[in-house]
Chain A
Amino acid sequence: MPIILDTAVIVAAMDKREKHHASAAAAMAGASPDRILMPSTIMAETMSFVRARYGLQYQRRVWDSLHASGIDIVAVGAELIAVAREIDQAYADVGFGFADCTLLATCEQEQVAKVLSLDRRLATYRPSFAAGLQLLP
């Protein structure tokens, strides 16, 4: 069963100093051999975060490791962006923001209800294909 990856969990898994490092690392390690899917917008957010917080050298290291890890990057094209906007409109009061809305649109496209995220607001989303999202760790 595939699982969708959000920025906070991969960051927490990568940085040993992070408060949620142990649980995030365990959740990612436990996902194997299932597919971990990462929307391209979340990858961009992650790479920008790594650049902002750790610098260009770490961005390059993460870049290589992401490529080698086998995480499946899901391309976010015009159709997914349109679905994401519909989600944003339906949940305007929550204010997920662009990246999270594309993540939720990816859940819809891939019919995946398991999400690796530290953002508990995502639990308010009601997918069309399942009773709710299962957030890990």
Chain B
Amino acid sequence: MVDIYAILAHFECMKKTMMYLPDEMHGYLAREARERGVSMAEVAREAISQYRAAHESTPTRDYSALIGIIDEPGSTTDAASQVDEVLDGYFSPQGTWAQEHDLADHS
């Protein structure tokens, strides 16, 4: 069988490296390679590729997308400092939520 990686190494497309692994990790790598019929190096390459893909898929952060998106007309307000009060009013027995759900206390 042609070892494509040996060929790539020959043409200097790959670097040979050596690393120390704990016994347990080495045993796992050897078993995995044996069961799949591939080399230990191949299993290691796959694992590194998966690790790299997972860590390079960090989502884009653009917090400016939220700034100023509420563009209602009106004067200065400080409702942001009164979150509890706004929610209390909305969910009160006579509040908008109760009216929207036909639950307003009409007594």
Contacts and interface: CB of A to CB of B under 8 A. Distances in A.
Contacts of B22: none
A103 interface: no
B67 A36 contact: no
A10 B66 contact: yes
A52 B89 CA distance: 9
Given A7-B83, A14-B70, A19 B78 contact: yes
A9 B78 CA distance: 11
Interface string B73-102: 011111111011011011100001100000
Contacts of B77: 15, 17-19
B86 A69 contact: no
B63 A69 contact: yes
Interface range on chain B (Cβ under 8 Å from partner): 20 to 34
Given A8-B80, A11-B80, A24-B80, A16 B63 contact: no
Contact of B80 (A18, A66, A69): A18
Interface stretch (B6-14, B31-39, B40-48, B54-62): B54-62
Given A17-B76, A17-B77, A54-B72, A69 B83 contact: no
B71 interface: yes
Interface range on chain A (Cβ under 8 Å from partner): 35 or more
A74 interface: no
A17 B72 contact: yes
Contacts of B61: 32-33, 35-36, 69-71
Interface in A73-88: none
A49 B65 contact: no
Interface of A: 7-21, 24-25, 28-29, 31-33, 35-36, 45, 48-54, 58, 61-62, 65-66, 68-71, 97, 118
